[in-house]
Amino acid sequence: MVHIKIKKGLDIPIIGRPQDHSEAIVADGHLIAPQTVALNLNSFEDIRFRLLVKQGDVVKLGQPLVEDKASEGRYLVAPGAGIVKEIRRGAKRVLLDIVIELAQNEEIIKHPTLDPRSATREQLIAALKSGGLFAHIRKRPFNTLANPEQTPRCIFVKAIESAPFSVPAELQVQGHEQAFQAGLTALSRLTDGPVHLVYRQNTSSRAFYDAQDVVKHTAEGPHPIGSHSVHIHFIAPVQQVNDVIWTLNVKDVIGFGVLLTQGTYYTDRVVAIGGPGVVNGHTGFYRARAGFPISGLIAGRLQPGLQRLISGDVLTGRKVDTIDYLGFEDEAFCIVPENTAREFLHFFRLGIDKYTASKTYLSGHLSHSDREYFFNTSQHGEQRPFVIGSPYEKVMPLPIPTIELVKAVQSENYDLASELGLLEVIPEDFALPVFVDPCKIDMMGIIHAGQKTYARDMLG
């Protein structure tokens, strides 16, 4: 067992947090049942899909809707049963959403069940691909979809979340402990190495500290302690460009267990709703389902004024509209006021009520460790060249020189970038450096583009 403890990082003190409660769902526990759900494909921008349905088709829950052209038999499936109401496309006809109008009585695709302890690796891979769950597995380096033809050196399951407004892993597993264990057992059959389960120190969930068929590790510290990159670095670092490590979260593992033991596609979610744009008393953790409509999440919750709707957490989430749907992997939904006017003479003010990570305002010199601040979408400045690297290193727990790595990627010097840590990170690892960045550099976009190019050149 490894205990991971980091001091570098930052828990952003933003108001509108869901109640931090890991024993039960707060509020009423459920959202109003939706009339439509959607398979959202925004997180698969580099995948070419073969569309298997057309508008007007009747589909069952768990029925394949698209197939990955690069991996025959790897499907993404319907999160609900009913009629295909709309197929949305973006630029160059890229698939974005497949919207399903739900039937009153939903029919469910039933798959043959498998015993995770006795099934072969080939049987498990085939079941996960046809059941729509293999697309939940990511590979390091580069955070691409896992290749079912490869055997990973090890597998990482994170049972700890630290991003703003994220759902505690203890809430996701609550009531699904047996399915979670079945999923872990199945994963142990897919690798020649260990399955690493990382959970928060002093967790209240027996599903984590009593888990079998895994190597257990604990973690503590500020965000990004819930990052796979941090866990991998301290336990089994990426060694080379051809290394293969698979990563998953708790919800994915539960889905594996449900598919194998019950034969059905798992659509249950606990969704966190929060942010300074939420009406007081309407934040919380709610039971929902995959592909939930944004219109159902905002009902009765929007503060007056223009608001930005975010599927995912406030650091790495995707801007959405009222006609959109919750992202494929998203477990959080945030509402943040849009900044529409420049604050008059803001640079002359003491800023007692403003948050600052660099102690620019007076609030940074006052001792209010438990105080929360109002945030909006203002960046408080425009892009400019890199000036100083110290702000980034304070929030980057990995031993990676942020400025040097970003510049190496910008200059397409990938040999140097690899030496500096490009293989150990994903774009989301730069969310905190971007947040504290006085230069407003899109480091996440730079790393994403660089890794995409490097992976294409090296792996084909």
**Percent of the chain with pLDDT strictly greater than 70:** 88
Q: pLDDT: is 458 or 113 the higher one?
A: 113
pLDDT in tens, 115-171: 999 999 999 999 999 999 999 999 999 999 999 999 999 999 999 999 999 999 999
Query: What is the Cα–Cα distance from 390 to 3, expressed in whole angstroms?
Result: 27
* CA dist., res. 162 & res. 10, Å (int): 10
Evaluate if residue 344 carries a pLDDT over 90. Answer: no
More confident residue, 61 or 441: 61
Q: Domain of 84: which CATH number?
A: 2.40.50
**pLDDT at residue 225, rounded to an integer:** 98
Is pLDDT at 293 greater than 80 in this prediction?
yes
Residue 26 predicted with pLDDT over 50: no
Q: How far apart are CA 238 and CA 155, in angstroms?
A: 12
Q: Is the pTM of this model over 0.95?
A: no
CA atoms within 13 A on the CB side of 438: 11
99 — pLDDT class (breaks 50, 70, 90):
very high
- pLDDT for 391 equals 85
Any domain includes 77:
yes
Q: Listing from the earlier edge strand, what are the strands of the sheet with 95-102?
A: 36-40, 95-102, 82-89, 58-59
Asked whether residue 396 is domain-assigned, the answer is yes
End-to-end CA distance of the chain: 36
> Which H helix or E strand runs over 408?
helix 402-410
DSSP per-residue codes, 276-337: TTBPTT--EEEEEETT-BHHHHHTTTBPSS-EEEEES-TTT-EEE-TT-B--SS--EEEEEE
Q: Determine the pLDDT at residue 31.
A: 80
Q: Mean pLDDT across the stretch 350-372?
A: 57
Per DSSP, helices labelled H in 90-205 are: 121-130, 169-173, 177-188
Instruction: Give 108's pLDDT tier (boundaries 50, 70, 90).
Output: very high
Mean pLDDT of the region 201-216: 96
Determine, yes or no, domain membership for 204.
no
What pLDDT, on a 0 to 100 scale, did the predictor assign at position 46? 82
Query: Would you place residue 439 in the very low, low, confident or very high pLDDT band (cuts 50, 70, 90)?
Result: confident
Six token digits for residue 368: 């209010």
Task: Give domain status of residue 398, yes or no.
Answer: yes
In a domain, 311, yes or no: no
Report the pLDDT averaged over residues 418-436: 95
The chain-wide mean pLDDT, for the chain, equals 90
Domain that holds residue 394: 384-459
Q: H or E segment at 216?
A: strand 215-220
Other C-beta atoms closer than 10 Å to the C-beta of 373 total 15
Give the model confidence (pLDDT) of 239-268 as tens digits. 899 999 999 999 999 999 999 999 999 999
* Closest CA relative to residue 195, chosen from 173, 222, 220, 215: 215
Worst-scoring range by mean pLDDT, 204-213, 242-251, 362-371, 392-401?
Answer: 362-371
Q: Specify whether the CB–CB gap between 273 and 247 falls below 8 A.
A: no
Q: Tens of pLDDT along 387-405?
A: 666 788 999 999 999 999 9
Residue linked to tokens 């991003």 = 163
Which helix H or strand E contains 148, and what residues bound it?
none
Cβ burial, residue 452 (10 Å; 0-12/13-18/19+): middle
Contact 266, 175 (CB under 8 A): no
Q: Determine, yes or no, domain membership for 112.
A: no
pLDDT reading at 87 higher than 80: yes
- Residue in the block written with tokens 């409660």: 21
**Separation of alpha carbons 63 and 54, rounded Å:** 13
**C-alpha span between 195 and 91 (Å, rounded):** 39
Q: What is the pLDDT of residue 62?
A: 97
Q: pLDDT at position 27, please?
A: 47
Q: How far apart are CA 349 and CA 77, in angstroms?
A: 53
Phi, psi of 337 (to 5 degrees): -60, 135
d(CA 418, CA 241): 9
96 within some domain: yes
Fill in the DSSP letter of residue 359: S
Contact yes or no for 238/168 (Cβ under 8 A): no
CA angle 110, 328, 123 (to 5 degrees): 40
Within-domain flag for 4: no
Domain boundary among 86, 102, 118: 102
Closest-CA residue to 130 (of 43, 259, 247, 40): 259
Confidence of residue 377 (pLDDT cuts 50, 70, 90): confident
pLDDT for 458 equals: 82
Structure tokens at 414: 């990938």
So what's the pLDDT on residue 371?
79
Residue 38 phi, psi (nearest 5): -145, 145
How many domains is the chain partitioned into structurally? Answer: 2
pLDDT at 387: 67
Helices (H) and strands (E) in the chain, counts: 12, 19
Last residue of a domain, one of 78, 102, 126: 102
